[in-house]
């Protein structure tokens, strides 16, 4: 039997299910570069380079093993520019008895794939993606009947089921969670480590030229391009993190510093999400670093929680809730996204810096995504669908299964509290405590109203007031509403008036220029 085995751009793992029983004597691997995938949201140019270069190098590695790979280039004149069109052409070319594919990371693609068998007249076998610790079925069983899906509970189930960081039935170190010891601001004078970046190899260089030609008006700098694009490079990136980042990961995972976008973070999500690294090997490496005395338990537990906990959990949420999930808008947010999310031109120094890092690297770390751009979108009531499309476009690691729950559930509370027991809403004081952004800002985090007031301060209390109908009954918001109720009514009115004036300026595009600062 001859099989046509489709490998997508985020399935670049040698051991992936569709390749597991490949017969090199008969089977053909199909890889497709498609405009549809590059443009259904207008991805950051570095993200397109990363995915296409990694695909080409993965195809070369398979060929070096003697495997027949049919790789359709983006500029092939016959390319129909969609997965469906290219699978149909490849079926006509190779006349397989069966098409085999691993389930994709996006509902949109899975829905299309389910129609291929009828359309092509060939059986299409869609295999489970077993690169995750938790299967879709296992998550669905855990989620069944729960009205709230708390990550912490799920994470402990995963720890018990995998035995990772477990000492029999007990967590290693006697605690499940070391957050209390973690999450400090950077001490003054601490110089973050130089992080390893990778010079483009000839394949990546050729793709950079291709993307420069074909996607001139997509967001994002093309160069310097510093991501590894093959498995060996991704392993080197992991080694760099283990040595330079992991020991301090826990302490500073929530810290932000201007001009230092990477700090002690993994910078591993692009590799994990396209399959150049597996979650298991990354978790095992971190646990081994602790066992060898190279990283403290609090740091390693904090890191493992991100992968064994958060990453698996958001995937489970995505697949149990789609397709309706994409429409979630529990807070009724309806403001168009301000242009400064693309231009970076705003007087808010924190937002400008995050957009700038994002443009330069297709990367921003978690707290920048959650507490700066995400928090602003939450407080300003920006339409969740627009926010989600932005995050999906601008980050090299953005694939819908992981991006959407983070945006809708975590950043915007648009799922009505399914994921987070209260919104991650914060005023300027949080950003000031955890970063050095405010010192560079035209606004002042200590000023609550009037000239120079930090917009996050105005918008925070305005959000709390305006969303009382939806959040007032939330017990975890109780202290916030008690503070609000103690506030002088005249002060509440001033906040509401000034917040409205700021939002009006935002809607008129006037906050898009540095001169907007008062
Ligand atoms: P580290 O801080 O070093 O964390 C280690 C690893 O843990 C990451 O590589 C990642 O695989 C995993 N991880 C950490 N937090 C999360 C999380 N909340 N959800 C899932 N995995 C997590 N992550 C993506 O991979 N793709 C996205 O499209 C994405 N969009 C996001 C959008 C928003 C609004 C927010 C708040 C978070 C988003 N995240 C996303 C999660 C997180 O911000 C990134 O995984 C992380 O910043 C990647 O950088 P890193 O590898 O240096 O992470
Ligand atoms: C993100 C992306 C881009 C930009 N281009 C391609 C491509 O040309 N070919 C491909 O197979 N995959 C690409 N991808 C990743 C896909 O969008 C991803 O595989 C699907 O969304 C399913 O998760
Ligand atoms: Fe951001 Fe406000 Fe600080 Fe300016 S003052 S950097 S807007 S938090």
| ipTM summary value | 0.99
Q: State mean pLDDT over 192-204.
A: 96
515, pLDDT greater than 60 = no
pLDDT of residue 511: 78
pLDDT of residue 514: 52
CB-count burial class (<10 Å; 0-12, 13-18, 19+) for 81 = middle
- Segment 143-153, tens digit of pLDDT: 998 888 999 99
Ligand whose nearest atom lies closest to the CA of 41: 2
Q: Which atom of ligand 1 is nearest to the CA of 392?
A: 28
Residue nearest to atom 8 of ligand 2 (CA): 33
Closest CA to 396 of 220, 258, 244, 238: 220
pLDDT of residue 148: 82
386, pLDDT greater than 90 = yes
Tell me the pLDDT of the chain averaged across its residues.
Answer: 96
pLDDT band at 183 (very low <50, low <70, confident <90, very high): confident
Q: State mean pLDDT over 37-43.
A: 96
What are the tokens at 263? 């700090």
pTM above 0.80, yes or no: yes
Q: 241: CA distance to ligand 2 center in Å?
A: 26
Distance in angstroms (rounded) separating the CA atoms of residues 177 and 303 = 11
Closest CA to 289 of 250, 330, 327: 250
Q: State mean pLDDT over 360-367.
A: 98
pLDDT band at 180 (very low <50, low <70, confident <90, very high): confident
- Segment 412-448, tens digit of pLDDT: 999 999 999 999 999 999 999 999 999 999 999 999 9
Distance in angstroms (rounded) separating the CA atoms of residues 406 and 414 = 10
List CB contacts of 40: < 8 A, sequence separation 6 or more: 108
330, pLDDT greater than 90 = yes
| Ligand 3 interacting residues, C-beta cut-off 6 A | 348-350, 428, 431-432, 437-438, 441, 443-445, 454-456
pLDDT band at 517 (very low <50, low <70, confident <90, very high): very low
Residue nearest to atom 15 of ligand 1 (CA): 306
For the chain, what percent of residues have pLDDT higher than 70?
99
Closest CA to 505 of 331, 339, 329: 339
Alpha-helix runs per DSSP H in 182-266: 202-214, 231-240, 246-252
CATH numeric code, 3-127: 3.40.50.620
What Cα–Cα distance (Å) separates residue 81 from each residue in 94, 172, 230, 444, 518?
19, 50, 24, 49, 49
| Ranges 125-134, 171-180, 433-442, 494-503: which has the least confidence | 171-180
Pocket of ligand 2, candidates 6, 9, 87, 273: which has the most ligand atoms within 8 Å of its Cβ, to mutate? 9
Residue nearest to atom 3 of ligand 3 (CA): 438
What Cα–Cα distance (Å) separates residue 159 from each residue in 164, 166, 290, 306, 489?
5, 7, 16, 12, 49
CATH superfamily, with its number, for domain 340-516:
DNA Cyclobutane Dipyrimidine Photolyase, subunit A, domain 3 (1.10.579.10)
Q: What b-and-e string marks burial along 488-504, b requiring 16 or more CB atoms within 10 Å of the CB?
A: eeeebebbeebbeebbe
- Segment 255-284, tens digit of pLDDT: 999 999 999 999 999 999 999 999 999 999
User: How many residues in the chain?
Assistant: 518
pLDDT of residue 513: 63
What are the tokens at 66? 């003697």
Ligand whose nearest atom lies closest to the CA of 279: 1
Peptide bond into 224 cis (omega under 30): yes
C-alpha Rg value of the chain to the nearest Å: 24
Distance in angstroms (rounded) separating the CA atoms of residues 89 and 49 = 25
Backbone angles phi, psi at 395, to 5 degrees: -110, 140
Distance in angstroms (rounded) separating the CA atoms of residues 136 and 396 = 24
Collect contacts of 211-214 with beta carbons under 8 A, ≥24 apart: 211/45, 211/48, 211/49, 211/52, 212/45, 214/74, 214/75
Ligand whose nearest atom lies closest to the CA of 376: 3
Q: 203: CA distance to ligand 1 center in Å?
A: 27
- Residue 5, beta-bridge partner list: 29, 100
The H or E element that residue 60 is part of is: helix 45-64
Closest CA to 502 of 459, 451, 441: 459
Closest CA to 424 of 486, 468, 358, 373: 373
Task: Enter the DSSP assignment of 453.
Answer: B
Residues 136-321, CATH architecture: Alpha Horseshoe (1.25)
Q: State mean pLDDT over 176-192.
A: 86
Percent helix, strand, coil in the chain, to 5, is: 55, 5, 40
182, pLDDT greater than 80 = no
Q: 432: CA distance to ligand 3 center in Å?
A: 7
| Ligand 2 interacting residues, C-beta cut-off 6 A | 8-10, 32-34, 37-38, 43, 48, 51, 104-106, 109, 399
pLDDT of residue 181: 74
What residue has token string 């002060």? 491
Structural domain boundaries of the chain? 3-127, 136-321, 340-516
- Segment 444-476, tens digit of pLDDT: 999 999 999 999 999 999 999 999 999 999 999
314, pLDDT greater than 60 = yes
pLDDT of residue 96: 97
Residue nearest to atom 8 of ligand 1 (CA): 269
Q: 223: CA distance to ligand 2 center in Å?
A: 21
Are the beta carbons of 97 and 2 closer than 8 angstroms?
yes
> What is the SS3 assignment for 125?
strand
Residue nearest to atom 6 of ligand 3 (CA): 438
Closest CA to 49 of 70, 71, 74: 74
| Ligand 1 interacting residues, C-beta cut-off 6 A | 253, 265-269, 272-273, 303, 306-307, 310-311, 314, 365-366, 369-370, 374, 391, 395, 397-398, 402-403, 406-407, 410-411
């Amino acid at each position: 039997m001859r099989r046509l085995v489709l490998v997508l751009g985020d399935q670049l793992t040698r051991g992936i299910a569709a390749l597991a029983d490949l017969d090199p004597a008969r089977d053909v691997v199909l890889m497709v570069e498609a405009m549809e995938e590059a443009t259904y949201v207008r991805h950051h140019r570095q993200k397109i380079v990363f995915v296409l270069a990694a695909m080409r190098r993965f195809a070369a590695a398979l060929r070096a093993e003697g495997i027949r790979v049919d790789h359709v280039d983006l500029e092939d004149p016959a390319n129909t520019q969609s997965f469906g069109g290219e699978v149909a052409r490849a079926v006509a070319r190779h006349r397989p008895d069966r098409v085999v594919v691993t389930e994709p990371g996006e509902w949109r693609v899975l829905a299309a794939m389910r129609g291929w068998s009828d359309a092509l007249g060939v059986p299409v076998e869609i295999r489970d993606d077993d690169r995750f610790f938790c299967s879709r079925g296992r998550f669905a069983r855990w989620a069944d009947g729960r009205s709230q899906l708390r990550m912490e509970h799920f994470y402990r189930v995963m720890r018990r089921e995998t035995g990772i960081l477990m000492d029999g039935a007990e967590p290693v170190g006697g605690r499940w969670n070391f957050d209390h010891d973690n999450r400090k601001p950077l001490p003054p004078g601490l110089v973050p480590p130089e992080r390893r970046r990778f010079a483009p190899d000839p394949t990546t260089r050729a793709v950079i030229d291709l993307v420069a030609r074909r996607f001139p008006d997509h967001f994002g700098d093309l160069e310097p391009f510093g991501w590894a694009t093959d498995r060996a490079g991704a392993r080197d990136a992991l080694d760099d993190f283990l040595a330079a980042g992991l020991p301090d990961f826990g302490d500073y995972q929530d810290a932000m510093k201007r001009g230092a976008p990477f700090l002690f973070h993994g910078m591993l999500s692009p590799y994990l999400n396209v399959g150049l690294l597996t979650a298991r090997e990354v978790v095992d490496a971190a646990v081994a670093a602790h066992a060898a005395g190279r990283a403290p338990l609090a740091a390693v537990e904090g890191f493992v929680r991100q992968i064994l906990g958060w990453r698996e959990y958001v995937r489970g949420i995505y697949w149990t809730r789609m397709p309706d999930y994409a429409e979630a808008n529990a807070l009724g947010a309806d403001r168009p996204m301000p242009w400064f999310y693309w231009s970076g031109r705003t007087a808010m120094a924190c937002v400008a810096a995050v957009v700038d890092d994002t443009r330069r690297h297709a990367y921003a770390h978690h707290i920048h995504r959650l507490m700066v751009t995400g928090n602003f979108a939450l407080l300003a009531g920006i339409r969740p669908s627009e926010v989600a499309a932005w995050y999906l476009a601008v980050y090299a690691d953005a694939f819908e299964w992981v991006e959407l729950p983070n945006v809708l559930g975590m950043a915007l509370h648009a799922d009505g509290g399914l994921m987070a027991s209260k919104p991650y809403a914060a005023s300027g004081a949080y950003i000031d405590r955890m970063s050095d952004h405010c010192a560079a800002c035209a606004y002042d985090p200590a000023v609550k109203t009037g000239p120079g007031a930090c917009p996050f301060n105005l918008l925070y209390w305005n959000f709390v007031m305006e969303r009382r109908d939806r959040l007032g009954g939330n017990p975890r918001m109780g202290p916030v509403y008690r503070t609000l109720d103690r506030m002088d009514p005249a002060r509440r009115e001033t906040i509401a008036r000034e917040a409205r004036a700021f939002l009006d300026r935002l809607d008129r595009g006037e906050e898009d220029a540095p001169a907007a600062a008062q």
